[in-house]
């Protein structure tokens, strides 16, 4: 089956057409500046010349129409008719407590999604626009929602509740949800395959380290704890996000600096993290260059990142009563060998040991453990789109 995977943002829309019979990407692309002047579609068909289509896109429906036209185009198209698209899989950021797995989208699901919008005001409304746009442009084609939060719905209350009055959970659903679930699910399943063991028998710590980073404890294939929380601001220090801080800092800084709720929210989400510490960049490559040039604050930012990831590795190894494998994924996890080495160094006492030569390999699925390591260290490039396509196919085919 060919599945169109859609990841709709407020003014952008990424897509991949995936053949789920062999997991090949048939075409992928990006619509930018939807609803803004200068909209353009960059279409990348596999094995053909890329195309850049500059055309106004007033809405997400306009964007989907252009995507379909590009997929059907005589020159850079990849399908003969729209009937070849068996289903559409949508990345949806927040499924709240309503969704513990992917679902076929119907009116009831859309209503539940609207209710979750309050929990992810920047993302869910855009995801819903993507869904409505596909319904309009591709009527009758089954649509599936795949949620970033769903994989973490297996956490127990002792892991997902905060130490605040229980009524706040009852009234406003304030609890840990966790994010990057599609990635954590994908890489933990790949890890089990790579290790040749049933996932039910494995304790895995998955480290998704990118602009946004999260660490998950996966016990027997289920998420039992994760570092992000009620929102993706919690957990490790990130590119521009603070990660966990003492909550008392928030009213203190608001008072001292005279900040509004909106301003403190922006400070913690956009001006903090390694950007805030270094005063230079949120990009780890820039920070490494600067640290190598002797910039102390860039080095401090990197050291803080390493330290915060270590904390979760120790915490989750204990929470699960052991660990069989540590998995690295996403931009930093897949590509930055020296960073991986510095992170796992702390865990040598529990049998983690990497092979420095294997650790030089970038962006490939590989076991980088030393031969005598008791705990495996793996690098597994994430593939959220493939996971979405496979979940979509399974639901549509009723498997
Ligand atoms: P996002 O959360 O936006 O999907 P990514 O997973 O793409 O982010 O990760 C972005 C981060 O990964 C950046 O800080 C970047 O410096 C780092 N990164 C990406 N590619 C490489 C690379 N080849 N070598 C080292 N770091 C990389």
Instruction: Give the chain's radius of gyration (CA, Å).
Output: 22
Q: For residue 92, report the distance from its CA to the centre of ligand 1, in Å.
A: 22
Q: How far is CA 322 from CA 296, 301, 349, in A?
A: 36, 29, 12
**pLDDT tens profile 64-78:** 999 999 999 999 999
* pLDDT band per the 50, 70, 90 thresholds, residue 374: very high
Q: Residue whose CA is closest, atom 26 of ligand 1?
A: 332
Query: What gap in Å lies between CA 249 and CA 229, rounded to an integer?
Result: 18
Query: What gap in Å lies between CA 166 and CA 146, rounded to an integer?
Result: 29
Structure token pair of residue 160? 């997902």
Mean pLDDT of 130-151: 94
If one compares 124 and 78, the residue with the highest pLDDT of the two is 78
If one compares 137 and 192, the residue with the highest pLDDT of the two is 192
Query: Is 332 near ligand 1, meaning CB less than 6 Å away?
Result: yes
For a mutational test of ligand 1's pocket, the pick from 285, 359, 362, i.e. the residue with the most ligand atoms closer than 8 A to its C-beta, is: 285
* Alpha helix positions (H), 179-294: 181-195, 249-257, 261-270, 273-278, 284-292
Query: Is 59 near ligand 1, meaning CB less than 6 Å away?
Result: no
Instruction: Classify 253 as helix, strand or coil.
Output: helix
CA-wise closest residue to 182 among 156, 214, 220: 214
Residue 372 is a catalytic residue: no
Query: Is 339 near ligand 1, meaning CB less than 6 Å away?
Result: no
For the ranges 119-133, 211-225, 370-384, the lowest mean pLDDT is seen at 119-133
Helix (H) or strand (E) run with residue 2 in it = strand 2-8
For a mutational test of ligand 1's pocket, the pick from 184, 238, 241, 284, i.e. the residue with the most ligand atoms closer than 8 A to its C-beta, is: 284
Classify 389 in phi/psi space as left (phi over 0), alpha (psi -120 to 50) or beta.
alpha
Query: What gap in Å lies between CA 247 and CA 37, rounded to an integer?
Result: 40
Q: For residue 10, report the distance from its CA to the centre of ligand 1, in Å.
A: 22
Query: Is 284 near ligand 1, meaning CB less than 6 Å away?
Result: yes
Q: For residue 383, report the distance from its CA to the centre of ligand 1, in Å.
A: 14
Q: For residue 175, report the distance from its CA to the centre of ligand 1, in Å.
A: 29
For a mutational test of ligand 1's pocket, the pick from 210, 228, 236, 241, i.e. the residue with the most ligand atoms closer than 8 A to its C-beta, is: 210
Share of the chain above pLDDT 90, in %: 93
| Beta bridge partner(s), residue 104 | 144
Q: How far is CA 221 from CA 24, 155, 198, in A?
A: 25, 12, 9
Query: What gap in Å lies between CA 342 and CA 309, rounded to an integer?
Result: 10
**pLDDT tens profile 248-275:** 999 999 999 999 999 999 999 999 999 9
* Alpha helix positions (H), 117-216: 124-137, 157-160, 166-172, 181-195
Atom of ligand 1 minimally distant from the CA of 211? 2
Mean pLDDT of 204-216: 97
pLDDT of 184 over the 70 cut: yes
Average pLDDT of the chain is 95
CA-wise closest residue to 184 among 322, 326, 312, 283: 326
Q: Residue whose CA is closest, atom 1 of ligand 1?
A: 211
Contact 225, 316 (CB under 8 A): yes
pTM given for the model: 0.94
Strand order in the sheet with 325-329: 222-226, 213-219, 203-209, 325-329, 376-379, 366-367
CA-wise closest residue to 66 among 110, 33, 91: 33
Share of the chain above pLDDT 70, in %: 100
Contact 355, 368 (CB under 8 A): yes
**pLDDT tens profile 290-342:** 999 999 999 999 999 999 999 999 999 999 999 999 999 999 999 999 999 99
Query: Is 212 near ligand 1, meaning CB less than 6 Å away?
Result: yes
Query: What gap in Å lies between CA 57 and CA 39, rounded to an integer?
Result: 6
Report helix angle 261-270 to 249-257, nearest 10: 110
pLDDT of 238 over the 80 cut: yes
| Beta bridge partner(s), residue 206 | 216, 327
Q: Residue whose CA is closest, atom 22 of ligand 1?
A: 335
Q: For residue 209, report the distance from its CA to the centre of ligand 1, in Å.
A: 8
Query: What gap in Å lies between CA 87 and CA 99, rounded to an integer?
Result: 20
Q: For residue 397, report the distance from its CA to the centre of ligand 1, in Å.
A: 35
* pLDDT band per the 50, 70, 90 thresholds, residue 179: very high
| Beta bridge partner(s), residue 179 | none
Q: For residue 104, report the distance from its CA to the centre of ligand 1, in Å.
A: 32
- What integer pLDDT is reported at residue 399 of this predicted model? 61
For a mutational test of ligand 1's pocket, the pick from 186, 207, 211, 270, i.e. the residue with the most ligand atoms closer than 8 A to its C-beta, is: 211
pLDDT of 120 over the 90 cut: no
Query: What gap in Å lies between CA 80 and CA 167, rounded to an integer?
Result: 55
> Residues in the chain, how many?
399
For the ranges 50-59, 116-125, 157-166, 261-270, the lowest mean pLDDT is seen at 116-125
Residue pointed to by tokens 């006492």: 349
Atom of ligand 1 minimally distant from the CA of 363? 23
- What integer pLDDT is reported at residue 198 of this predicted model? 98
Contact 188, 327 (CB under 8 A): yes
Catalytic residue among 148, 225, 324, 391: 148
Query: What gap in Å lies between CA 320 and CA 221, rounded to an integer?
Result: 12
């Amino acid at each position: 089956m060919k599945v169109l995977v859609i990841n709709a943002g407020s003014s952008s829309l990424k897509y991949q057409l995936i053949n789920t019979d062999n997991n090949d990407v048939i075409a992928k692309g990006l619509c930018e500046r939807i609803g803004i002047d200068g909209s353009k579609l960059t279409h990348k068909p596999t094995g053909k010349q890329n195309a850049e289509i500059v055309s106004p896109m007033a809405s997400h429906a306009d964007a989907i129409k252009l995507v379909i036209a590009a997929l059907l185009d005589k020159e850079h198209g990849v399908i003969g008719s729209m009937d070849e698209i068996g289903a559409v899989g949508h990345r949806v950021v927040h499924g709240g407590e309503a969704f513990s797995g992917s679902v076929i989208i119907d009116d009831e699901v859309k209503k539940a999604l609207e209710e979750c919008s309050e929990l992810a005001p920047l993302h869910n409304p855009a995801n819903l626009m993507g869904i409505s746009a596909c319904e309009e442009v591709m009527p009758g084609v089954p649509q599936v929602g795949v949620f970033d939060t769903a994989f973490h719905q297996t956490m127990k209350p002792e892991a997902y509740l905060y130490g605040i009055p229980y009524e706040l959970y009852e009234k406003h659903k304030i609890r840990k949800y966790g994010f990057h679930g599609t990635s954590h699910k994908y890489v933990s399943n790949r890890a089990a395959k790579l290790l040749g063991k049933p996932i039910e028998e494995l304790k895995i710590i998955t480290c998704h380290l990118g602009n946004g980073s999260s660490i998950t404890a996966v016990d027997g294939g289920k998420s039992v704890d994760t570092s992000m929380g009620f929102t993706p601001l919690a957990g490790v220090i990130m590119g521009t996000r603070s990660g966990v801080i003492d909550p008392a800092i928030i009213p203190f800084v608001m008072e001292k600096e005279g900040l509004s709720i909106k301003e403190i929210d922006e400070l913690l989400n956009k001006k903090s993290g390694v950007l805030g510490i270094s005063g230079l960049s949120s990009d780890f490559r820039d920070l490494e260059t600067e640290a190598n040039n002797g910039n102390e604050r860039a080095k401090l930012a990197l050291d803080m990142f390493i330290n915060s990831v270590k904390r979760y590795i120790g915490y989750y190894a204990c929470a699960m009563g052991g660990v069989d494998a540590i998995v690295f994924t996403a931009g930093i996890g897949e590509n930055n060998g020296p960073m991986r080495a510095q992170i796992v160094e702390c865990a040598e006492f529990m049998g983690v040991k990497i092979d420095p030569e294997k650790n030089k390999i970038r962006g490939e699925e590989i076991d980088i453990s030393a031969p005598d390591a008791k705990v495996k260290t793996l690098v597994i490039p994430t593939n959220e789109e493939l996971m979405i396509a496979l979940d979509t196919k399974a639901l549509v085919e009723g498997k």
